[in-house]
Structure 1
């Protein structure tokens, strides 16, 4: 029997791979190769699960805002609200933050101490200034991921787990992908949706790595007294030293860290857990009764911290869908639609009409290398 040949072989079945595969599959034959036993084991399964308009910076806002309506219409968002908080000495940073998002379509407003403590009563006195973002919401990450995996399967695309790609060989048809188990698959185009492993996959194909670096982020779940109120907002330090949000009577707390690491099965370091608990106790008057859980996940960034979507300018038949930092889940609907339109040679639709696809092209790194003489 002849081996099946696919138009696209997507490497990775986390949120990135599942969403781009779901958008490609109605128009082309698609194979998804996932290294782990089940999709979403790494970053997707360890997300702090919020949609926040400012997260990722102004360059990510068009993707976030475009995705918001899709997520709401499909029932994946629950209202939360977000507060960026600071002290007297942070007012300049808060002012600059507001200015940086001017004209982007983001809805934010300044609050004083009284309005801040109405929303989060346990903030210590020196935390007196804030920015309120009312549109922030919790994301049903598992539901969204399953939504895309189901869409992939409904149109007959194939998902293969325990299929870590070990070799990518050029063929007359495009590519042969050989897994560590020795299985072989044929495709015209490779879509690199491998997250923290994106540069490693590029090297397998002989493509130039783009400098997509994995970073570790730690989260702990605290039982506090009094119990965290379920409708309190997400709270983020304007200096990036912590964030926390309630979850079923508990608090999820992170040092908002980005610790350089190898692509791996990330686990929390005790020093990071201790550091963020110390910060939390300096910021709030909650009593910590127990650290109930701790975990770490990877987020991967391109050098300019913007995502990378589209064909590699030097390697034909090799496309990128990577570098999505910590915002890949909240931008998934618009990003996947945009990425598929680019790879299929389609124009924009209502979801992507306000997004400048050139901003996210991998060509920007090759052009920079040429200008630098690299």
Structure 2
């Protein structure tokens, strides 16, 4: 049996589910997710924070465009998806240039003294800090509420989310894309490739030119809260060159080595050596001795060569739409990118500036 729909979306992470939600009010939509549940890979393994100044200028524009939805997530939640956190950048002597580069063109960041930095995060070694800056507008994102709200929107609009539906073949027949999966055969005039680390593999299945996507592993480590400290209101704290960062997480302390090791698409797991190196950098910069790791994990952040997302119709295949390459910015840019995806697929104009739309267009990667 073949199920027909207006738009097929391959991938049930935040990119695919949010795009489906935006589209489902005006088109019939089916999401195909390879795993038993949505958000199995990167979406479920995120540091979950909204940073207005994170990323290149294209990403910063998308961050700004996403903020109004986070604050008033109509159809997803009855109150803001965000909650206060703050972000502290602190630079050792060899990281000052990196911090200066991050601050260039930033919005709402203020330079602070090393003493003020240590007052925010008392475990930091003040004698090593040469410069620091703080972004008060950085906020935690309730990723589960965001994702499940988008999923409810899809279902309330009669859209389908099909799990255990790994795409095995993808062909263009009589003006429609036909996807064969263990859960059945699905067809639609438009297919959206939101397959995360597997997006280039989906393109290869479809006979479409790939965009040079490189999955990169990012690890997380959960530690007990440092003894004697109430970490509840600590900001996210990150080194000037992003060599590691930390963040309170449900009463524990989450540390990431900020690794970006290129890997093949897979169900990622942490590398013991990377974890050890990250913890060493953490211990060197703080007064904490790590005696116990409660949990560690890894996810994949996916980049093309210019580190901007890839959003738009493929120049070499009718009805094949790219929604990929979000890097570590997929959650916080999902409101803007899902709306752009819906606008382009439905033939509507987008409120995003044309230079941002062009910076996302897959054609840029083939010129």
Q: Shorter chain as normaliser: what TM range?
A: over 0.9
- Partner SS, residue 230 of structure 1: coil
Mark the CA change 1:71 to 1:98 in structure 2 (over 3 Å): closer, same or farther.
Answer: same
- Partner SS, residue 60 of structure 1: helix
- Show structure 2 runs of 5+ residues with no match: 74-79
- Partner of 1:306 in structure 2? 308
- Partner of 1:164 in structure 2? 166
- Stretch moving more, 88-97 or 71-80: 88-97
| 2:178–2:186 CA contact under 8 A, matched in 1 | yes
**Distance across 2 between alignment mates of 1:29 and 1:86:** 50
- Partner SS, residue 59 of structure 1: helix
Q: Deviations over 1:278-337 (max 9, x none)?
A: 111001102434210100001111111000111001111100001000100011111100
| 2:112–2:134 CA contact under 8 A, matched in 1 | yes
**What are the equivalent positions in structure 2 for 1:1-374 lying under 5 Å apart?**
3-74=2-73, 75-99=80-104, 101-102=105-106, 106-124=107-125, 125-179=127-181, 181=182, 183-223=184-224, 224-349=226-351, 352=352, 356-367=356-367
**Distance across 2 between alignment mates of 1:343 and 1:277:** 45
- Partner SS, residue 325 of structure 1: coil
Q: After TM superposition, give the deviation of residue 46 of structure 1 in Å.
A: 0.6
- Partner SS, residue 70 of structure 1: helix
| 2:96–2:240 CA contact under 8 A, matched in 1 | no
| 2:3–2:185 CA contact under 8 A, matched in 1 | no
CA RMSD after TM alignment: 1.5
**Distance across 1 between alignment mates of 2:100 and 2:195:** 37
- Partner SS, residue 329 of structure 1: helix
- Partner SS, residue 296 of structure 1: strand
| 2:56–2:308 CA contact under 8 A, matched in 1 | no
**Distance across 2 between alignment mates of 1:47 and 1:275:** 20
- Partner SS, residue 280 of structure 1: helix
Q: After TM superposition, give the deviation of residue 247 of structure 1 in Å.
A: 1.5
List, as ranges, runs of 4+ consecutive aligned residues in structure 1 with deviation greater than 6 Å.
none
Q: Deviations over 1:108-158 (max 9, x none)?
A: 111111211111111112123111111111111111110111111110011
Q: If the length of structure 2 is used for normalisation, what is the TM-score?
A: 0.94
Q: After TM superposition, give the deviation of residue 237 of structure 1 in Å.
A: 1.1
- Show structure 1 runs of 5+ residues with no match: 368-374
Q: If the length of structure 1 is used for normalisation, what is the TM-score?
A: 0.93
Q: Deviations over 1:158-186 (max 9, x none)?
A: 1110000010122114111001x272111
- Stretch moving more, 195-204 or 107-116: 107-116
**Distance across 2 between alignment mates of 1:96 and 1:366:** 29
**Distance across 2 between alignment mates of 1:92 and 1:355:** 28
